[in-house]
Structure 1
Amino acid sequence: MVISGIILSFTFVGIFTETLHGFHRAKFAMMGALLMIVAGQYYGFY
């Protein structure tokens, strides 16, 4: 649960600060989803 919360927070910060780093929101969302799936498979909550 903590791991998924950290990934979610990191993804939201990345999405909301798009103008600061220039990395598109869609790419951040896809990266967050991929990290969530990988973490879920590793820790067994997906």
Structure 2
Amino acid sequence: MNEYVLDTPMLLSAIIMGVTFIGIFTEGLHGFHRTKFAMLGALVMIIVGQIYGFYSP
């Protein structure tokens, strides 16, 4: 059984995903369309992933 370690890249991606989901689910409160939140979350995930090397083998 593999043990997962909560390191910085994993923590950052979880925070980005959580903030994106909160923004999507609270669309009625702030009026910012959910598609824009999803695209912004994806963009931030790609940028942070390139900086921290999420996508390297």
Q: TM-score range by the shorter chain?
A: over 0.9
Unpaired segments of 5 or more residues in structure 2?
1-9
Identity of aligned residues (%): 70
> Does 1 or 2 have the higher relative contact order (CA < 8 Å, sep 6+)?
1
Corresponding pairs, count? 46
1:15 and 1:24 map into 2 onto residues whose CA distance is 8
Misfit runs of 4+, over 4 Å = none
Alignment RMSD: 0.4
TM-score, normalised by the number of residues in structure 1: 0.98
- Which one has a bigger Cα radius of gyration? 2
TM-score, normalised by the number of residues in structure 2: 0.79
Unpaired segments of 5 or more residues in structure 1?
none
| Structure with greater helix percent | 1
